[in-house]
Amino acid sequence: MTKKINAAIVGTGFIGPAHLEALRRLPSIEVTALCEVNLELAKEKAELLGIPNAYTFEEMLEDASIDVVHVCTPNFLHFSQSKAALLAGKHVVCEKPLATKIEEAEELVALAKEKGLVNAVHFNLRYYPMVRQMKNMRENGELGEIYSIMGSYLQDWLFLQTDYNWRLEPDKSGDSRAIADIGSHLLDLTEYVTGLKVTEVMADFSTVHKTRLKPLKAIETYSGKMLQPSDYEEVPINTEDHATVMLRFDNGNKGSVTVSQVNAGRKNRLNIEIAGSKANFEWCSERPNEIWIGKRETANQHLMKDPSLFHKDAAGLISFPGGHNEGFPDTSKQMFKEVYAAVREGKQPENPSFPTFEDGYRELLICERIIESHKKQTWVKI
């Protein structure tokens, strides 16, 4: 039998259980431990989620049976927890952003390289089969020279003044919110699909709600729970609800991205359109199983997800035949499949197929330059 790999999940907000569900769909992987802010909460969540061991973070590090740590906590904890896990000799899958400061991300990249341990950042949106297919088609010459790129990532979960989450607090999430939270996914996907690098940025932010009503009792992200007026306190907001960024790429051409968390009715809509000299590709995360392919001299096309029609690399991310739709939960499963293949080998591959700490550093660098650009209201080089 294949040797079992033991994993621990740190943090049980929105994304921790998503990691858990994805890992449970892969063979020979067992989530044996869960960590929370205190042992009482860890025990409560472990029982709820069916995980055998509840630990504090420090206790989990001392468990020699745990091979991999999934860091799914608020942003400000990512650096310290990823560093501690690496120093304890454990492979790490970290939620984005890798850290809240460039220097911290640099330290993690160097430490992971020194230890030779598997390191990954959860840029799972790369793992929609259609995204990989667009990348493969571009590599195969089907897009041609890239003329321009337009992207957007729109949500509405912070639309109301009473919508609140720890991501609104810079000491927990960092100096950027919409760009760092969802823009990082869009920017990572843009460079991944096109093979281009962003070289300069020009950004403009908007904070729609200058103050928000913070609940005096905890509510979960995306829970939709309502409180009474007396259950809130008014707090100032200093991070962006909306941002537009113009981009310059290393092939000399241009692009732009818009991100917003205050667009009513847009629950989680990432859209990217890449214009090339041979075709135009458009993909939307709310229609994840199709690509629109634009043509000038022939009819436009819709390519539906079907492993028999895909490039071999993209077909490897598909678990079901054509006509059987796959979506967001499948992206983490497909990513972890590649990460845990490396874990089974016991070391980071020379050319990993999955997003690494270096990719996490790259996105943090771009986000930092975007923040600088907004503050200076000028173009900033990456």
Which among 67, 36, 64, 62 is positioned nearest to 49, based on CA atoms?
36
Question: CA–CA separation, 282 vs 270, rounded Å?
Answer: 11
Position 231 scores a pLDDT of 80
Instruction: Report all structural domains of the chain as residue ranges with CATH numbers, in order of start.
Output: 5-117 (3.40.50.720), 128-324+356-381 (3.30.360.10)
- Residue 229: is it exposed, middle or buried by C-beta count within 10 angstroms (0-12/13-18/19+)? exposed
Position 220 scores a pLDDT of 57
Return the axis-axis angle of helices 129-139 and 184-194, rounded to nearest 10°.
40
Token output for 205? 């932010």
* Paired strand residues for 236: 211
Position 319 scores a pLDDT of 95
Position 218 scores a pLDDT of 66
What pLDDT tens digit does each residue of the chain (382 aa) get?
578 999 999 999 999 999 999 999 999 999 999 999 999 999 999 999 999 999 999 999 999 999 999 999 999 999 999 999 999 999 999 999 999 999 999 999 999 999 999 999 999 999 999 999 999 999 999 999 999 999 999 999 999 999 999 899 998 888 999 999 999 999 999 999 999 999 999 999 999 999 999 988 766 555 555 667 678 899 999 999 999 999 999 999 999 999 999 999 999 999 999 999 999 999 999 999 999 999 999 999 999 999 999 999 999 999 999 999 999 999 999 999 999 999 999 999 999 999 999 999 999 999 999 999 999 999 999 9
Question: CA–CA separation, 210 vs 239, rounded Å?
Answer: 9
Position 221 scores a pLDDT of 55
- Model confidence, pTM: 0.93
